[in-house]
Amino acid sequence: MEQEFIVEIEELSNLGAGIAKHEGKVIFVENTCPGDRVKIKITKQNKTYSFGQLVEIINPSTHRVNPFCPMQKVCGACQIQFIDYKEQLKIKQQIVKDYSRNLNLEVRETVPSPEIKGYRHKIQYPVSETKNSKRIIAGYYKPKSHEIVNIKYCPIQPEICDEIIDYIRENAPKYNISGYREKSHSGILKHIVIRSSAETGNNLLVMVINDNKISKQIKQFGEDIYNRFDKISGVCVNFNNKKTNLILSNKTQILCGEDYIEEKLCGITFKIGANTFFQVNPKSAENIFQYVKQYIKENFESPTILDAYAGIAAFGIVMSNISQKVVSVEENQESISLAKEVLELNKIHNVDLYAMDTAKYLETTEQKFDVTILDPPRKGCTQESLDGVLKVTKSKIIYVSCNPQTLARDLEYLISKGGKVNFIQPFDMFCHTYHVESVAVIDLE
């Protein structure tokens, strides 16, 4: 322990740490890049691997660049921004390969994001306040901590979001609105959430409060913010007075304006509310939707499609004009209500919406589908859900995943039940992070 020595960084782990080897043992070193020659010291040892701390970069990798964000080293959001973008794409392809190594699958080259700055259109900042001055702070947590980095400027999100958050920081105390203090579970403002439209530039602001009612001060402050910014289409309050890591509860109330923003995807305008799931990078999401649509169009003529874990039924709605029938299933009632409005607005009549748990729908339905599109949360699917999908799907499953670990687990199960994985196509949805979105095509015939 604490001994210093020099190692070569060979590759990146699935969590973005550099991997080196010394005397036959794997060492994980954060803030390093494949090709770096570095001096490190061991900070923690296990039987088969160790953790090292970077002491000095002896020879930097040719892939190492200066991060464009001055807060990159202290903020936990963009873990690999110091690596050039082409190498980031290769790293993400390798991460997907590593997780699915035992399955011997084709993993294609990562499709880049159309934008690598200003791409993030959902912002969720925890809020607190300083101990003595009671100054409001808001930003991301430092890595492996609940210590907030007070972010004034973030180049991966629209500039208007920085302006809105800074206004809240500076003016909340004038309305006697305190920041949340996690240890004592006191204070009012817990999180600032902004849904920002890439299409219109409009923003939906959600103030998450440690309360179950709207005070006079919160109401006045919300009206102040709404009147201050032309590009805020609505201000909402979300009530979350529980000790939990969950940011948004299921109870949201509109204060001013509209309780949604509009976003365009593949020529269709969608409505996104406070609790609605929608991809944080709309332009990269459009790449995925177009890719899936083109694949279905090339392999089927007017198929029936199940859109499972549907959110606002974006996949189902985008696929509607190449399909005979689409069934979209989503347990969040707000998302289904917004999807219904989109269907009516666009005069789409071949998409059926079910506001229910996907597993329950699969258990009870008698319908059969040519294609099932699975887009589950990070935890992936249960075996019961996968069994249900296998029961109702005649030809192909298209699995869209934001977690290569649970994707590999679920693909292994589908293979054990007779499925054949044609390929995995990674997409860069979360630039400068180790996260990667993937599309896997599974053949059941």
Domain positions in the chain are: 4-64, 91-115+281-443, 122-262
Query: What is the side-by-side order of every strand in the sheet holding 325-329?
Result: 351-354, 325-329, 304-308, 369-374, 393-401, 437-443, 420-427
Facing residues of 4 across strands?
Answer: 41
Facing residues of 212 across strands?
Answer: none
Exposed/middle/buried for 438, CB within 10 Å: 0-12, 13-18, 19+? buried
Fold agreement (91-115+281-443, 122-262): no
In whole angstroms, what separates CA 151 from the centre of its chain?
19
4-64 adopts what CATH topology? OB fold (Dihydrolipoamide Acetyltransferase, E2P) (2.40.50)
From first to last of its 445 residues, what are the pLDDT tens digits of the chain?
667 899 999 999 988 899 999 888 999 999 999 999 999 999 998 888 999 999 999 999 999 999 999 999 888 899 999 999 999 999 999 999 999 999 999 999 999 999 999 999 999 999 999 988 899 999 999 888 889 999 999 999 999 999 999 999 999 999 999 999 999 999 999 999 999 999 999 999 999 999 999 999 999 999 999 999 999 999 999 999 999 889 999 999 999 999 999 999 999 999 999 988 888 999 999 999 999 999 999 999 999 999 999 999 999 999 999 999 999 999 999 899 999 999 998 999 999 999 999 999 999 999 999 999 999 999 999 999 999 999 999 999 999 999 999 999 999 999 999 999 999 999 999 999 999 999 999 999 8
At residue 79, the 3 state secondary structure works out as coil
Distances (CA, A) of 279 to 181, 283, 443: 30, 9, 26
C-beta of residue 125 within 8 angstroms of C-beta of residue 150? no
Which DSSP category does 274 fall into? T
Facing residues of 400 across strands?
Answer: 439
Exposed/middle/buried for 412, CB within 10 Å: 0-12, 13-18, 19+? middle
The 10s digit of each residue's pLDDT in 243-271 is: 988 999 999 999 999 999 999 999 999 99
Place of tokens 């740490």: 17
Kindly report the CATH number that applies to the domain delimited by 91-115+281-443. 3.40.50.150
* Active site amino acids: 402
The first and second tokens of residue 239, run together, are: 């009530």
Task: Give the number of other Cβ atoms within 10 Å of residue 259's Cβ.
Answer: 20
Identify the CA nearest to 40 among candidates 21, 56, 28: 56
Kindly report the CATH number that applies to the domain delimited by 122-262. 2.40.50.1070
Largest CA distance in the chain: 68
Residues in CB range of 412: below 8 A, 6 or more apart: 102, 103
Report the DSSP pairing between strands 136-141 and 148-150: antiparallel
Identify the CA nearest to 340 among candidates 247, 271, 439: 271
Read off φ and ψ for residue 88, nearest 5 degrees. -55, -40
Which DSSP category does 211 fall into? S
CA-derived radius of gyration, the chain: 23
The first and second tokens of residue 180, run together, are: 């949340």
Opening angle at CA 405, ends 401 and 411, nearest 5 = 70
